[in-house]
């Protein structure tokens, strides 16, 4: 009986000890599990907080920076700041969201830009039509006017209208329209003379022709586009240099059949950034949004780029002029160059005279040459000063030094007006002049 009792007590003690041990183990396991759960919750909360911060960065920083970057590449787009999220599915989703945002912004900008271009193009066509009609009326008034003062006023109005046409014309070109004028095959000097006459400050422009012949012309389909490009480059040259400095224009022929219009100014030149942007616009390889042209928009280079893309000539502004300014060059390929008979279609009076042919080398006069010395050996040959002769001056001189007759003065004015008309050498397009209903 005692033995059984002792065994029972021992078993009970062992059971109790086991229970106590098990309870201790369970409690320990619970504490461990609790700590693990706490760490898991803390880790999950920390990861959730990091994702929230990444989303906040996307909304507040990355997306606005992306919108600015689409406007100008000078604005950088920051990446994900939390390196711990790099390479995760969450980071990939954020990048995809940013790409979708950029695509949506571009599509909306292009839609708005297309609508703005259409509205501006329609307005430009209306203004162009009225300007051409005004130009025709002013030409008629100039032809019939007999009062000198009134005629001068008509000339000023005509020049002001030419400047208005230029501003509207380049805006129309940027919006996808054509220049609005149709020219026949035109002498290259006449194109430059016409481009010069459209500008305020044209008296500062000096044109020199180094063409080897007076038959160099441009085919009709490219004459007005090249005139527009020349006008805009001359306008930039005038605006970038002081009012007391001249702009030098040189007409050149190359050995490969191309001809060039070289424009040199004495301005401050362009920075590397400005030159890079100008080269991108002048290349005409990609469409430029109106919002990228500034406020107010600078349309000149964009219009030239559009014409370059449409007609195949080249324009560069990446060289420095001899005066530390900018040298702009319009290169007209042989496909756009033609020959024009100056007798059938003479140059205008305002065009520069082609360079004279080089003189043949003179043989030095020696004492053995007949007539090299006076028949009287005691008298030395005399040298006489010769004034520089201006081409055409003798023809224009008044015989006997008398003032011109009224008929001669009238003929002079007629020749001047014909020179202006030949400088334009263009007819208005078929744009409708009547008002839209």
Q: Indicate the burial class of 40 (C-beta count within 10 angstroms; 0-12, 13-18, 19 or more).
A: exposed
The C-alpha atoms of residue 55 and residue 61 are separated, in whole angstroms, by 10
Is residue 368 predicted with pLDDT exceeding 80?
A: no
Structure confidence at residue 50 as a pLDDT band (50, 70, 90): confident
Question: Strand 205-209 to strand 247-253: parallel, antiparallel, or no bridges (unpaired)?
Answer: parallel
Number of neighbouring beta carbons within 10 Å of residue 323: 17
The C-alpha atoms of residue 101 and residue 106 are separated, in whole angstroms, by 9
Structure confidence at residue 20 as a pLDDT band (50, 70, 90): low
Up-side HSE of residue 251: CA atoms within 13 Å toward CB?
A: 25
CA dihedral 132, 129, 178, 223 (to 10 degrees): -10
Q: Indicate the burial class of 322 (C-beta count within 10 angstroms; 0-12, 13-18, 19 or more).
A: exposed
The two three-digit tokens of residue 343, written as one number = 């007798």
Provide, rounded to the nearest whole percent, the portion of the chain with pLDDT above 90. Answer: 30
The C-alpha atoms of residue 283 and residue 249 are separated, in whole angstroms, by 22
The two three-digit tokens of residue 11, written as one number = 């078993």
Number of neighbouring beta carbons within 10 Å of residue 227: 30
In angstroms, the Cα distances linking 47 to 62, 78, 96, 187 are: 20, 21, 20, 75
In angstroms, the Cα distances linking 64 to 58, 98, 300, 369, 407 are: 9, 10, 30, 89, 73
Residues 6+ apart with CB under 8 A from 425: 183, 184, 186, 190, 191, 194, 223, 348
The two three-digit tokens of residue 283, written as one number = 């290349």
**Residue 330 parent element (H or E):** strand 326-332
In angstroms, the Cα distances linking 36 to 26, 46, 290 are: 15, 15, 60
The C-alpha atoms of residue 5 and residue 410 are separated, in whole angstroms, by 154
Tens-place pLDDT, residues 139-164: 999 999 888 899 999 999 998 998 89
Structure confidence at residue 116 as a pLDDT band (50, 70, 90): confident
Quick one: angle between helices 300-311 and 272-283, nearest 10?
40
Is residue 419 predicted with pLDDT exceeding 90?
A: no
Structure confidence at residue 305 as a pLDDT band (50, 70, 90): very high
In angstroms, the Cα distances linking 316 to 93, 319, 406 are: 44, 8, 49
The C-alpha atoms of residue 98 and residue 96 are separated, in whole angstroms, by 5
The two three-digit tokens of residue 303, written as one number = 């219009």
Structure confidence at residue 414 as a pLDDT band (50, 70, 90): low
Per-residue confidence (pLDDT) for residue 413, from 0 to 100: 58
> If DSSP codes are grouped into helix, strand and coil, which group holds residue 91?
helix
> If DSSP codes are grouped into helix, strand and coil, which group holds residue 404?
coil
Of the candidates 225, 214, 208, the residue with the CA atom closest to the CA atom of residue 261 = 208
Tens-place pLDDT, residues 213-249: 888 999 999 999 999 999 999 999 999 999 889 999 9
Structure confidence at residue 341 as a pLDDT band (50, 70, 90): confident
The two three-digit tokens of residue 37, written as one number = 């759960």
Least confident of 6-15, 54-63, 179-188: 6-15
Average pLDDT, the chain: 79
Is residue 382 predicted with pLDDT exceeding 70?
A: no
The C-alpha atoms of residue 381 and residue 410 are separated, in whole angstroms, by 48
């Amino acid at each position: 009986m005692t033995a059984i009792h002792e065994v029972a007590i021992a078993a009970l003690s062992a059971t109790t000890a086991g229970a106590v041990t098990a309870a201790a183990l369970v409690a320990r396991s619970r504490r461990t599990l609790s700590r693990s759960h706490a760490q898991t919750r803390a880790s999950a909360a920390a990861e959730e907080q990091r994702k929230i911060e990444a989303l906040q960065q996307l909304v507040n920083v990355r997306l606005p920076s992306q919108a600015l970057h689409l406007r100008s590449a000078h604005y950088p787009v920051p990446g994900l700041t939390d390196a711990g999220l790099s390479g995760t599915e969450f980071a990939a989703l954020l990048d995809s969201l940013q790409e979708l945002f950029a695509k949506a912004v571009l599509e909306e900008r292009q839609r708005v830009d297309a609508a703005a271009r259409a509205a501006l193009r329609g307005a430009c066509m209306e203004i162009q039509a009225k300007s051409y009609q005004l130009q025709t009326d002013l030409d008629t008034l100039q032809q019939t006017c007999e009062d000198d003062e009134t005629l001068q006023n008509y000339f000023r109005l005509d020049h002001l209208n030419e400047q208005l046409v230029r501003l509207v014309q380049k805006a129309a070109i940027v919006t996808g329209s054509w220049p609005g004028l149709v020219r026949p095959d035109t002498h290259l000097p006449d194109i430059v003379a016409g481009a010069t006459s459209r500008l305020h400050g044209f008296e500062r422009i000096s044109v020199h022709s180094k063409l080897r012949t007076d038959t160099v012309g441009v085919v009709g389909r490219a004459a007005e586009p090249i005139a527009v490009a020349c006008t805009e480059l001359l306008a930039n040259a005038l605006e970038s240099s002081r009012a007391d400095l001249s702009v030098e224009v040189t007409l050149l022929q190359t050995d490969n059949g191309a001809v060039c219009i070289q424009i040199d100014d004495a301005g401050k030149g362009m920075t590397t950034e400005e030159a890079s942007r100008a080269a991108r616009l002048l290349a005409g390889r990609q469409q430029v949004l109106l919002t990228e042209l500034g406020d107010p928009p600078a349309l000149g280079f964009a219009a030239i780029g559009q014409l370059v893309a449409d007609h195949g000539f080249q324009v560069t502004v990446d060289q420095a002029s001899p005066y530390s300014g900018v040298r702009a060059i319009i290169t007209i390929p042989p496909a756009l160059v033609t020959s024009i008979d100056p007798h059938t279609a003479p140059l205008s009076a305002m065009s520069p005279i082609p360079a004279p042919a080089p003189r043949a080398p003179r043989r030095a006069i020696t004492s053995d040459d007949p007539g090299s010395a006076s028949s009287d050996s005691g008298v030395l040959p005399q040298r006489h000063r010769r004034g520089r002769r201006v081409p055409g001056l003798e023809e224009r001189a008044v015989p006997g030094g008398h003032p011109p007759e009224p008929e001669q003065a009238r003929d002079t004015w007629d020749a001047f007006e014909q020179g202006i008309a030949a400088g334009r050498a263009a007819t208005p397009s078929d744009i409708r002049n009547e008002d839209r209903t």
